[in-house]
Amino acid sequence: MRRQHPLIVAASCLTLLFLYLPLLGVAIFSVNDARRGLVWKGFTLKWYLKLFENDWILQAAWNTLLLAVVSTIVATLLGTVLAIAMDRFPWRPRASGILDVILHIPVVIPDIILAAALVVAFGLLRMVSSIFEPGLLNMIIGHITFQIAFVALVVRSRLVAIGSEVEEAARDLFATNWYILRKVMLPLLMPGIIAGAMLAFTLSLDDFVISFFTAGPDSQTLPLFIFAAVRRGVTPQIHALSTLIMLVTVILVVATERFTRKHEAA
């Protein structure tokens, strides 16, 4: 096994410390008995108990979970279909290039630009129907607009890795397109679909800008709640809430990685 250069190892360790040491500090202060400041006054779990007694936080958590689940399901379905359509159907080179650019725009465009565009779009839609008032529906639509691109890119990379040989072999055995989709493509695409869905889910959980511009008075999410709470001062309850969000994210990432490796090994 080839040994890495000591400078590369040191730079990697420093980078990991820079990324994760603040997160470790948040987790430590979530079990600190001190209400304010950075002085350690003993271990306690009371901030987690108070967290679950706070109706505002529970409502924000429910809104966040509902928003993430619904938008992820819709974005995964649409993103998977889009990826298959772009990779497996014949397109003229110019049309294919335009579709590639359109697909990458939500990924590279600043969130504030996309949020402003959504505000204008929903303003026009409200002239047609009042259901597009700021609220959870607008937030779901807003999240789907950028989640689709991420799901499609992940699934499309899986399609490229698979190739078209398996599908051609199935057609040589007189399999129909519907049968190939259900029995050949979808099982092979499942790791990519799951990975894209988990990416979309975590992006929805973490999103602040688009949620801020599309939220209504009764659709506050955890990122919006944390932002409003931090402006009044960071409390141990915020540390506890942030720690739980990090824990959920880590569990989802590990579960997705294990599922993907198990599926590929099978």
Supply 173's token pair: 């055995």
Contacts of 31 (CB under 8 A, 6+ apart): 43, 44, 45, 47
| Mean pLDDT value of segment 69-96 | 87
pLDDT single digits (tens) 120-132: 999 998 888 888 8
Q: pLDDT confidence of 243, banded at 50, 70, 90?
A: confident
Does residue 209 contact residue 111 with C-beta atoms inside 8 Å?
Answer: yes
Residue scoring higher pLDDT (97 or 119): 119
Q: pLDDT confidence of 263, banded at 50, 70, 90?
A: low
Residue type, 174: F
Tell me what pLDDT residue 37 has: 63
DSSP string computed for 24-78: HHHHHHTTBS-SSSS----B--HHHHHHTT-HHHHHHHHHHHHHHHHHHHHHHHH
Q: pLDDT confidence of 94, banded at 50, 70, 90?
A: confident
- Would the pLDDT of 139 be above 90? yes
What is the reported pTM? 0.82
pLDDT single digits (tens) 165-187: 777 787 777 777 788 778 888 88
pLDDT single digits (tens) 190-206: 888 988 998 899 889 88
Tell me what pLDDT residue 12 has: 86
The domains found in the chain, sorted by start residue, are 45-265 (1.10.3720.10)
For residue 220, how many C-alpha atoms fall within 13 Å in the half-sphere facing its CB? 15
